[in-house]
Amino acid sequence: MARGLEPAASAPGAGERPWTDDAVVYEIYPRSFQDSDGDGIGDLAGIRSRLPYLEWLGVDAIWLAPIYPSPLADYGYDVTDHKAIAPEIGTDQDFDLLVADAHDRGIRIVLDLVVSHTSIEHPWFRERPDFYVWSDGPEPPNNWLASFGGPSWTRDPATGRLYLHSFYPEQPDLDWRNPEVREAMADVVRHWVGRGADGFRVDAVDRMVKDAELRDDPPAREPFPLPMPEALLRRDLVNSRDAPDIGIALAALREAAGRAPLIGEVYLPVARVLPYLEHLDAVFGFDLLHAEWDADALAAAIDRSSAAGGIAWVTSNHDFPRVATRWGEENARAAAVLLLTLGGAAFVYQGEELGMVDGPAADPVRDRYGRDACRRPMQWDPTPSGGFSRGDPWLSPVDPATRNADDQSADPGSILNLFRELIGVRREIHGTPARIGSPDGTLAFDRGAHRVAINLGGSPAVVPAPAGSELVLCTAPGAAELHEGELRIGAHAAAVTCER
């Protein structure tokens, strides 16, 4: 493998830091990234054809949302075979070629590991019922609720028994207390490490192990700090998820993964993620994802997450509105500076480097919970299809004539070139972020000799700058300037300085 990429199969050495610690990981939703064969669905060959772009951008790795066979009840997060590739996404050869080409370019591959549940159409559901959680009573054994609404229990027409599902009824939960389940999923991890995967994003980690006695979730004692359906907010979700013996599941994955990092989706308050970091290399910082575009709110989210350690920063993903839609197009550049200058791994969702916005709800609706809006195809050029497909795309692009990679790559002042510059500057920034005092409506922190200052407001602001500082980067030409110990920042702008 070129550029020093090593296989992930061996165990890490004592004290060795995982490669993800300071990596920029680019999330790809395969169905929406690049279609190579004209069927309107993105695929592995399409991703491979865009590796030169990703190498030019400077990312360290790509995270592929699920590539496995699925009936698409939850658009890939309902898996029927964890060791296979969905035929519309590609073949084993396509995967091998993608891995080899990516590694030659110094880009690592992170796979999405969907392990808390399977599709109801997975052969295990009929052949290995002991792999799942069942109840034989006439009524659900507890008050647990599914994340997408309604009870977590559904009756199986074939057997008359109730099975547990944390999400859709089409996604029955695996019983991770069964050692054979742990070994079966560990074997999945070993399979993909052997195929060249360099790491894994582990889906819905906090749902893997539930209360062994299936006890009710009690009434909420305090507000849950992350967004959630109203019915769930009224419960203290301590039995339907987040069991204290989660380690029995994570230890199996950790051993199977060897030195391949595991980054967990743990949808819990920061104070409750620490046990997960005993086995995971990082967890996503959802506090930042859900924060308002407000200096105090962002500072509080960063402080809470930083206290836990092991945070992978993220400001958007395939489930959540894009930055330009949520925080405002005028703030997208400053948000990029924030994401890419914090310590730890940074995850960038495809199209954020173009300032892409969400589209309207699809017609017909592909996803029951409106996530089509942020899953529109990547916009490569100004043509009606955005260069995504020569056929009819499964979802139409939003505005390729306004935002596309071809036009922006040729424009030195584009948000795309800002992202590229930021990724380069990021490699020169070291040290733990230390927030400094700054005017209302601004957020500023030091990392070693570098100072990052973000103006979230609609008026210019002044942030103190150490003597001898130089302006390294700002969000647009003329957006910031240094003058006699002051860093003057325009509205909705951000800058990075360095003390020489």
For CA atoms 53, 54, 57, 63, give the dihedral sign: positive
- Cα–Cα distances (Å) from 324 to 13, 328, 369, in that order, read 41, 5, 20
- Residue position matching structure tokens 């590739």: 85
Token code pair at residue 336: 């990029």
Q: How far apart are CA 344 and CA 319, in angstroms?
A: 22
The residue type found at 473 is L
- Cα–Cα distances (Å) from 16 to 5, 73, 312, in that order, read 15, 40, 18
Q: How far apart are CA 126 and CA 114, in angstroms?
A: 19
- Residue position matching structure tokens 């046990």: 275
Instruction: Report DSSP state, residue 229.
Output: -
The residue type found at 217 is D
- Cα–Cα distances (Å) from 204 to 112, 214, 305, 371, in that order, read 11, 19, 18, 17
Closest CA to 34 of 343, 386, 400: 386
The residue type found at 100 is A
23 contacts 32 by C-beta, under 8 angstroms = no
Token code pair at residue 299: 């500072």
Catalytic residues: 203, 265
468 contacts 499 by C-beta, under 8 angstroms = yes
Task: Based on DSSP, count helices (H) and strands (E) in the chain, helices before strands.
Answer: 13, 19
Backbone angle region of 387, left / alpha / beta, with phi > 0 → left and psi within -120 to 50 → alpha:
left
Question: Using H for helix, E for strand and C for coil, what is the string for 349-398?
Answer: ECCHHHCCCCCCCCCCCCCCCCHHHHCCCCCCCCCCCCCCCCCCCCCCCC
Token code pair at residue 87: 């035929």
